[in-house]
Amino acid sequence: MTNQVVLDPTSEKKLVSRELLARPATISGQTIGLLDISKARGDMFLNQLESRLTTAGAKVLRFRKPTFTKPAPVDLRHEIATKCTLVIEALAD
Residue ranges binding another protein (CB under 8 A): 1-13, 15, 66-67, 69-71, 93
Q: For residues 60 and 67, what is the distance between their CA atoms, to the nearest angstrom?
A: 22
CA 7 to chain centre: 36
Minimal distance, residue 58 CB to another protein, in Å: 30
Report CA 51 to chain centroid distance, whole Å.
20
- What is the closest distance, in whole angstroms, from the C-beta atom of residue 92 to another protein in the complex? 10
Instruction: Between 16 and 25, name the residue whose CB sits nearer to another protein.
Output: 16
Residue 25 or 74 with smaller CB distance to another protein? 74
Task: Find out whether 46 and 18 touch, Cβ atoms under 8 Å.
Answer: no
- Beta carbon nearer to another protein, 6 or 20: 6
Number of Cβ within 10 Å of residue 71's Cβ equals: 9
